[in-house]
Each structure stands twice: as structure tokens, then as C-alpha cells.
């Protein structure tokens, strides 16, 4: 399957966007991201395909967009997909905790670590708002894109 890609400038650094052949967004990565994607030789550069994503990201960073309306396609275990779906429900300007996500998907309190792992594996930084998940004590714990970016995003949304 061919991976399509482009790069988009943003206030948190250049974003690498990938999509499948249907045009569904498959990842949004930042430089230095833990488990982030990097362009491969067999990928096809298709900037026009990503125009809607680029426009929505620009509107988000301008404070004009609170919810992305993009088609995306991610592949994860059934557990990860449930965690990611729960993250998708966290509204702009709000936060939740790892424990609350575990409870929302019907997982035990002991599953908080697994929830954290699923959140860390989120392939759609920014678009799927894993930056809105914080520690139970309010600490800005882990973010695959780096804590400084998490702070930038939460500040943009008026949380910090």
C-alpha cells in the first residue's frame, strides 16, 4: 500500500502528515517524536491531497477551530482503538486523566499503564487530542511529541 505524505509548518514545528491511497489521514508526526514517522523512499509526496488537513491545522493554531473534521484511518489493537476513541471525545479546552480514560472504556484501574501506552502510540498528534490527557494530580505527564509541545497546545486551548 502506497503511503502519501506532505510536510506542514506549524507553531510546534514542522508536521509530517501521511495518508493512505484513499486520502484518509494515517499519521501526524513532529520531529523527534517517540515512535514518530519519517519519510521513506517508496512514499509519494502529494501536498494537494492534504489541503483540508493543512487548512484545519492552520485554523486550529489560529484559535479558530475547536474540532477537526478530517477522515482518518489508524490501525491498532482493539484496546488501543477504544482508548483512541475515548480521547476523541475530550473537548477543546478541557483535560481528562489516564484513569478517567480507563474508566470510560470499561478497563480496570490497574489498566492505567496500558492506557498510557495506547495514548503514547497515538499516530495522530494534535488531531487526536492526546495532549489533553494529564496525570491524576494535574501533572503534565508524558507526550510523544515532547512536553514543551504539550504545554504549547494546552496554552493555545486556554487550559494553561
Active site residues: 130
Is 28 buried (19+), middle (13-18) or exposed (0-12) by CB count in 10 A? buried
Percentage helix, strand, coil, to 5, in the chain?
35, 15, 50
- With contact defined as beta carbons under 8 Å apart, do 125 and 33 qualify? yes
Helices (H), 12-77: 51-61
Amino acid at each position: 500500500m502506497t503511503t502519501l505524505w506532505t510536510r506542514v509548518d506549524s507553531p510546534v514545528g514542522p508536521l509530517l502528515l501521511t495518508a493512505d491511497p484513499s486520502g484518509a489521514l494515517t499519521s501526524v508526526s513532529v520531529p523527534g517524536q517517540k515512535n514518530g514517522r519519517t519519510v521513506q523512499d517508496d512514499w509519494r509526496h502529494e501536498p494537494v491531497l492534504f489541503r483540508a488537513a493543512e487548512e484545519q491545522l492552520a485554523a486550529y493554531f489560529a484559535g479558530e477551530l475547536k474540532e477537526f473534521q478530517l477522515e482518518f484511518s489508524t490501525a491498532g489493537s482493539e484496546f488501543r482503538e477504544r482508548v483512541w476513541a475515548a480521547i476523541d471525545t475530550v473537548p477543546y479546552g478541557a483535560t481528562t486523566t489516564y484513569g478517567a480514560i480507563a474508566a470510560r472504556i470499561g478497563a480496570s484501574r490497574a489498566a492505567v499503564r496500558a492506557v498510557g501506552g495506547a495514548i503514547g502510540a497515538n499516530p495522530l498528534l494534535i488531531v487526536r487530542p492526546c495532549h489533553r490527557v494529564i496525570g491524576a494530580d494535574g501533572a503534565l505527564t508524558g507526550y510523544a511529541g515532547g512536553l514543551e509541545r504539550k504545554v504549547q497546545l494546552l496554552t493555545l486551548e486556554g487550559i494553561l
